[in-house]
Structure 1
Amino acid sequence: ILNEYLIPLMRENGRIINVSSRVGAIILQEASKSLQDKYTSSTLTTDQLDQLVEDFISSIEKNKLESLGYNSKSDFLIYGVTKAALNALTQIEARESSNRKNLFFISVTPGLCTTDMTRNLQNTRPPELGANSIFYVINTSRDQLKNGAFYRDGQQLPLINESIIIKEKGNENKINQVNN
């Protein structure tokens, strides 16, 4: 893991900010309660998280996602699992590594920003607004943020939340779940 190599290089009171997505929270919302509990457990370790991800990859290969508690019909499933795992890793690192050099770990989503890839989607936001979401957790005093938490636009977000529906411009019949 990259952070294992970065942490020793960090200055006292440094911050590690992981850029994530609410798609991870959507995927967990669509998963079984047992799987939700595993990803959000306050005792989850990096080894256990690695095993969750390995099991996910294996279940794709064996076409057995449902047996692990994933919803195989979830839009953006693979992307969402990577973001759910990143948010879980942020919490693990905050719990296990923050005492070293008084480090601070945060996950942040810039939201669904307007890019070449998203130009046909409604409800995108300017990239500058997404960047501001990241700058917020960089520049805000530590006592106003929670170590290990997940943020967007200065607000702490849950790790499991409701689906967000976005319609493509010019095609009201096509609906996708995306990060917003």
Structure 2
Amino acid sequence: MVKVAVVTGSNKGIGFGIVKGLLKRFDGVVYLTSRDDGRGKAAVAKLNELGLKPEYHQLDVTDRDSVIRFRDHIKEKYGGIDILVNNAAVANSTSFYNNYEECKTIIEINYLSILTIQELIFPLVRENGRILNISSDCGHLSNIRNIYWVKRLSKKDLKVEDINDFANWFLEGIKEENFNYDDIADEGTVAAYRVAKVALSAITMLQQKELESKNISVNSMHPGLVQTDMTHGIGFYDIDQAAETPIYLVLDAPDSLKGAYVWYDRKVLDWYDYKADYFFKTSTLKTSTQKSE
């Protein structure tokens, strides 16, 4: 049986770095996927120049039909997946504050798409497989200052409806232009991205519970501030450095690491510690810019 690894949104950035790293170490097939065919095939050509040979398939995580086509392709060709890295994401704007349409797109790509992937792709993940959701420091609970939502997202019997309500609460507030930005850390900067990534980190723990019977590990992680198009080249790490911890988590981490929120240095953090100093700070961008100059 051929082992299969899949990385979503991997034609550039961290996803591309993860594919490259897996191709060097993983004993099996590695899929590079992208929303845009041209960009995906160009990324494959770059790896081919390095002597690396990924498989490619178009995959738009926000398009149900695209996800179904990808699912059917994998099912027919390989029968299942051993490693799934949910990396597809967008920040969508150079501004720290987004309009409603931008916020909606950010929530759809960074959070709601994972529900489609969970429904259609997760059943292909084989026993003892590993799933990694690429979150962010924006995805730690300390990014949320609204105590009602902190408590609701922290409850032991958390359900997907709670997380969906959280995302909808934010979008409704933006749409009605009455959202209180004090409910988000750092004066409410990049609020949509924070809400989406907090939702992604939260659902990771529900996914772990659902897949426990197959001994599949599901974790989320903050890859650090990485020099990518999404960060407009600002960051402390290049994509190869940023790929090291994700690759560790899907290949080398102990089987006991499940449902965890992991920092870029492999440290497992208490996601529920909403008073911690783990939230994203826009001042970090200035520090990074100064360091790279």
Cα distance, 1:68 vs. partner? 9.8
> Secondary structure of 2:148's partner?
helix
**Contact persistence 1:18–1:90 (CA under 8 A):** yes
1:150 equivalent to 2:261? Answer: yes
Compute the TM-score of the two structures, normalised by the length of structure 1.
Answer: 0.79
Q: How large is the Cα RMSD of the aligned pairs?
A: 2.6
Assess if the C-alpha contact under 8 Å between 1:118 and 1:124 holds in 2.
no
Partner of 2:137: 22
Determine which of 117, 120, 127 is the counterpart of 1:5.
Answer: 120
Provide the rounded CA distance (Å) in 2 between the counterparts of 1:136 and 1:52: 31
Hey, what does 1:45 align to over in structure 2? 159
Q: Counterpart of 1:115?
A: 228
Partner of 1:125: 237
Q: Which runs of 5+ in 2 are unaligned?
A: 1-114
Query: Relative to 1, partners in 2 of residues 1:17 and 1:76: Cα closer, same or farther, differing over 3 Å?
Result: same
Q: Which amino acid aligns with 2:261?
A: F
- Provide the C-alpha distance between the structure 2 equivalents of 1:50 and 1:116, rounded to a whole number of angstroms: 28
Q: Which 5+ residue runs of structure 1 have no aligned equivalent?
A: 171-180
Q: How many residues align?
A: 166
2:127, 2:216 within 8 Å by CA — same for their partners in 1? Answer: yes
Identity %: 26
Q: Against the structure 1 CA distance between its residues 69 and 132, is the aligned structure 2 distance closer, same or farther, given a 3 Å change threshold?
A: same
Letter in 1 for 2:180: E
Distance in 1 (alpha carbons) for counterparts of 2:186 and 2:164: 20
2:248 matches 1:102:
no
C-alpha spacing 1:68/1:40, structure 2 compared with 1 (3 Å):
farther
Aligned partner of 1:33 among 147, 163, 167: 147
Asked if the contact 1:18/1:107 (under 8 Å) is kept, the reply is yes
The Cα of 1:158 is off from its aligned counterpart by: 3.2
The alpha-carbon distance between structure 1 residues 104 and 72, as it changes in their structure 2 partners (threshold 3 A), is same
Partner SS, residue 13 of structure 1: strand
- Give runs of aligned pairs for residues 45-84 of structure 1, distance below 5 A: 45-66=159-180, 69-70=183-184, 73-84=187-198
Higher relative contact order (CA 8 A, sep 6+): 1
The structure with the largest alpha-carbon Rg is 2
What CA deviation, in whole Å up to 9, does each residue of 1:47-84 have, x standing for no partner? 22112111211111112323994469321111111100
SS in 1 for 2:243: helix
Give the partner amino acid of 1:56.
F
Task: Give the C-alpha shift of residue 42 in structure 1.
Answer: 2.5
Distance 1:105 1:120, change over 3 A: closer
How far off its partner does 1:97 sit?
2.9
Q: CA deviation at 1:35?
A: 1.6
Q: State the SS of the aligned residue for 2:121.
A: helix
